Amino acid sequence: MTDESLWYIFINASLISNFVLAYFLGICPFLGVSGKMETATKMGAAVTFVMIISSMCAYGIHALLVALNAPFLQLISYIVVIASTVQLVEMVIKKMSPALFKALGIFLPLITTNCAILGLALFQTNKGYNFLESLVYALGAGAGFTLALVLIAGLREQLNLADVPDVIKGTALTLVIAGILSLTFMGFAGLGL
Amino acid sequence: MSILIAILTLGGLTFLLALMLVIANRKLYVYEDPRIDEVEDMLPHANCGACGYPGCRPFAEALVSGDVLPGKCTVSSEEGREAIAHYLGVSVGAEEKIVARLACAGGTNVAKNRAQYEGLGTCRAASLISGGGKGCFWGCLGHGDCEVVCDFDAITMNQHSLPVVDEALCTACGDCVEVCPKDLFSLQPVNHRLWVACKNLEAGDGVLEDCEVACTACAKCAMDAPGNLITMMHNLPVVDYSENHQTQVPIQRCPTGAIVWLDESGEVVKGKESKKIVRKGERRIGYT
């Protein structure tokens, strides 16, 4: 089955159906923490980490719930796992890098309710991926999320230096370039099947 | 049966996760000086940023680490600052009071409108439309954005739609400086009493057409001032506050009263030769 090879899953999750720019999931950190390249990269790394952990946990939980014949617990279990993982990441970052902890601010606990992460867990279950495929899917989604964040952070850093009309400065401009970025990612749709 | 499964599964799951978090919390515990919380409680929680820190908590951290003295907080009362100084065993640290000053005196009684602005009643909105309706492009639009943004009720609009800063209440947080679309406010130490209350960059008596108290760039103040106290730059006098500026000499010959002396009592002293402004009502469009 060539179309579901690991490489395809990775490209699919990161580019063709990029979580942020094609599925519009996880928009809030995409707009909120994309002011600086440095924080954007680290936020991307944090989200990717949470994605991988919660993807592994989701796989295990799904298997367990199927065995127990209780798939109705899927959603609530995923939420509990994601919330705890984010808590753990928060503690680790606070310990390792207080500066990053301050820079990420409120957006770090907001990963808890980030739809990109819950969406990932639900998508991989729906698509029926096995453990390895889930892992690659999470990695691809994380890479795509980081890519989107880095791209918009780069644009915003450049635009800080540009002479922009007053009316469009700030949030309005960010939303406009987010739209244009999404438009360019539509080009990858041609790669899909 | 399924209820039992649900309870057991979720119970087990949450127990495992809670256990993990408890262990992580122990292993990854970050020590924070308990004095930071205490000092933060003593601060006014205004989070205004006048001290130069992003908020009260970062300021409390800096206080505890000894980087600053409590006097930097302009919002606290004298007792509050002393309490913090006593708690930390440091001196209060004297800070010269800084206040916001307005570089415009063009109220409605002296400055003319060239157009009637009828849109949204804020300076920001008005300034987007060719800089607002005011004749003087640089002058105060008088819609009172600064009065609204001031958290300390230090700015009130007077009867001529010109903001007046209550220096006793001003904490120099800088909100008005940021909000003014004409950049008329600046933070100045309170002893800067020699003050140029105009931002008009044009020269000559033509500017009086739009505003009777505008600076005509005659440069008399610069000539009269001792030493290099005042230099003319872009048709405006610029006071070099590093020189001795405690003198009322430069204001005396100002023909319009654009350079003034701000008295300790809050009164605006104009030079002897300055034109007296007697009009109380509005200076209307087309009326000179």
- Asked if the Cβ–Cβ distance from B17 to A84 is below 8 Å, we say yes
- Asked if the Cβ–Cβ distance from B10 to A95 is below 8 Å, we say no
C-alpha to C-alpha distance for A140 and A15, rounded to whole angstroms: 8
- The answer to whether residue B51 is domain-embedded is yes
- Name the token pair of B182: 């004409």
Look up the domain containing B170 and give its range: 98-269
Report, as ranges of residue numbers, the positions in chain B whose pLDDT lies below 70.
285-288
Sign of CA dihedral B136, B137, B139, B141: positive
- Asked if the Cβ–Cβ distance from B9 to A167 is below 8 Å, we say no
- The answer to whether residue B154 is domain-embedded is yes
Contact B142, B87 (CB under 8 A): no
Phi, psi of B168 (to 5 degrees): -70, -35
* Average pLDDT score over residue span A177-188: 90
- The answer to whether residue B110 is domain-embedded is yes
Q: Are B84 and B115 within one domain?
A: no
Would you give the end-to-end CA distance of chain B in angstroms? 91
Contact A45, A128 (CB under 8 A): no
Q: Are B208 and B262 within one domain?
A: yes
- The answer to whether residue A19 is domain-embedded is yes
Q: Quick one: pLDDT at residue A179?
A: 92
Residue B282 per-residue DSSP state: -
C-alpha to C-alpha distance for A7 and B265, rounded to whole angstroms: 77
- The answer to whether residue A191 is domain-embedded is no
C-alpha dist (Å) from residue A136 to A52, A174, A179, B154:
9, 30, 27, 59
Q: Of B88, B123, B150, which marks where a domain is finished? A: B88
ipTM value for the complex: 0.71
- Asked if the Cβ–Cβ distance from A61 to B2 is below 8 Å, we say no
H or E element, residue A49: helix A37-68
Q: Chain A to chain B, count of Cβ pairs less than 8 Å apart?
A: 48
Across A171-175, A179-183, B46-50, B117-121, least confident range:
B46-50
Look up the domain containing A62 and give its range: 2-186
Phi-psi region of B144 (alpha: psi -120 to 50; beta: other; left: phi over 0): left
Q: Are B67 and B193 within one domain?
A: no
Q: Are B50 and B153 within one domain?
A: no
Residues in B touching A76 (Cβ below 8 Å): 10
Q: Which of A65, A73, A95 has its CB closest to that of B30? A: A95
Q: Are B46 and B126 within one domain?
A: no
CATH number at residue B247: 3.30.70.20
pLDDT digits (tens, 9 = 90+) for B210-264: 898 999 999 999 998 888 899 999 999 999 988 888 888 889 999 998 999 998 8
- The answer to whether residue A192 is domain-embedded is no
Q: Quick one: pLDDT at residue B181?
A: 92
CA nearest neighbour of B215 among B223, B225, B224, B204: B204
- The answer to whether residue B65 is domain-embedded is yes
- The answer to whether residue A68 is domain-embedded is yes
Residues in B touching A94 (Cβ below 8 Å): 28, 30
Residues in B touching A80 (Cβ below 8 Å): 10, 13-14, 17
- Asked if the Cβ–Cβ distance from A61 to B128 is below 8 Å, we say no
- The answer to whether residue B10 is domain-embedded is no
pLDDT: which is higher, A4 or B11: B11
Query: Which residues, in sequence order, are bridge partners of residue B247?
Result: none
Number of structural domains chain A divides into: 1
- Asked if the Cβ–Cβ distance from B24 to A91 is below 8 Å, we say yes
CA nearest neighbour of B146 among B136, B156, B137: B156
Q: Are B171 and B73 within one domain?
A: no
Q: Are B117 and B194 within one domain?
A: yes
Q: Quick one: pLDDT at residue B100?
A: 92
Q: Which residues, in sequence order, are CB contacts of B280 under 8 Å at separation 6+? A: B109
Q: Quick one: pLDDT at residue B215?
A: 92
Number of structural domains chain B divides into: 2
User: Could you identify the residue written with the tokens 């023909």?
Assistant: B255
Instruction: Please tell me the distance in Å from A9's CA to the nearest CA on chain B.
Output: 29
C-alpha to C-alpha distance for A181 and A175, rounded to whole angstroms: 10
How many Cβ atoms are within 10 Å of B258's Cβ, its own excluded? Answer: 32
- The answer to whether residue B207 is domain-embedded is yes
C-alpha to C-alpha distance for B167 and B169, rounded to whole angstroms: 5
Residues in B touching A91 (Cβ below 8 Å): 21, 24-25, 28
Q: Are B186 and B52 within one domain?
A: no
pLDDT digits (tens, 9 = 90+) for B9-25: 889 989 999 999 999 88
- Asked if the Cβ–Cβ distance from B5 to A69 is below 8 Å, we say yes
CATH number at residue B50: 1.10.15.40
Per-residue H/E/C for A107-176? HHHHHHHCHHHHHHHHHHHHHCCCHHHHHHHHHHHHHHHHHHHHHHHHHHHHHHHCCCCHHHCCHHHHHH
Q: Are B74 and B122 within one domain?
A: no
Mean pLDDT for all residues in chain A = 87
Q: Quick one: pLDDT at residue A1?
A: 44
Residues in B touching A84 (Cβ below 8 Å): 17-18, 20-21
Q: Quick one: pLDDT at residue A45?
A: 87
- Name the token pair of B30: 């970050």
Q: Are B84 and B104 within one domain?
A: no
- The answer to whether residue B214 is domain-embedded is yes
- The answer to whether residue B3 is domain-embedded is no
- Name the token pair of B120: 């949204």
C-alpha to C-alpha distance for B155 and B177, rounded to whole angstroms: 12
Q: Are B112 and B188 within one domain?
A: yes
Q: Quick one: pLDDT at residue B114?
A: 85
pLDDT at A182 over 50: yes
Across A56-60, A186-190, B139-143, B253-257, least confident range:
A186-190
- The answer to whether residue A193 is domain-embedded is no
Q: Quick one: pLDDT at residue B172?
A: 86
Interface of A with B in 88-107 (CB under 8 A): 88, 91-92, 94-95, 98
Interface of A with B in 32-61 (CB under 8 A): 61
Q: Are B47 and B177 within one domain?
A: no
